[in-house]
Amino acid sequence: MLKRDNPAATIAVLLIEESGDYYHKPEAIVITDTDDHTVVYCQDARYNFIQAALHKHAIGAIAQKGVLFRNQHLEAKQIDLGEFQLESPFGVTTREEIIRTLFRRNPRQFWFLEKYIDGKS
């Protein structure tokens, strides 16, 4: 189970296109909270690559124009925080609520989030 945390400020889906491929697939969820702490949720095997990319390029820059990093093209799609606040009983959206909601809405696309839900992490 995820520990309780500060409310989320921004949410982005990180999309990665492998070299020689033509399809960007979601490989991470990047959440920044109200204290500017960024947390990455992804498959374990991709964690170091994604962290290195985020240290070199800000998530905002990736969202605006996309970047090429280690011969792979990265894009980020910002998610509107308001759609999660409607589902939250107090209008405060924690990372835990966001991860649960994203996985529940589309488990095939966000399969890598399952390990963070219900004490599986």
Domain coordinates of the chain in residue numbers?
Answer: 8-116
Q: Tens of pLDDT along 39-95?
A: 999 999 999 999 999 999 988 889 999 999 998 999 999 988 877 766 666 665 778
pTM of the shown model:
0.83
Decide which of 88 and 3 is more confident.
88
Least confident segment among 1-5, 23-27, 28-32, 112-116: 1-5
Name the residue with tokens 């921004």. Answer: 10
Contact between residue 83 and residue 98 where contact means Cβ atoms under 8 Å apart: no
**CB neighbour list of residue 36: distance below 8 Å, 6 or more residues apart:** 9
Which pLDDT value is given to residue 80?
84
Which is nearest to 30 in space by CA: 63, 4, 2?
Answer: 63
In the predicted model, is pLDDT for residue 2 greater than 50?
Answer: no
Decide which of 57 and 5 is more confident.
57
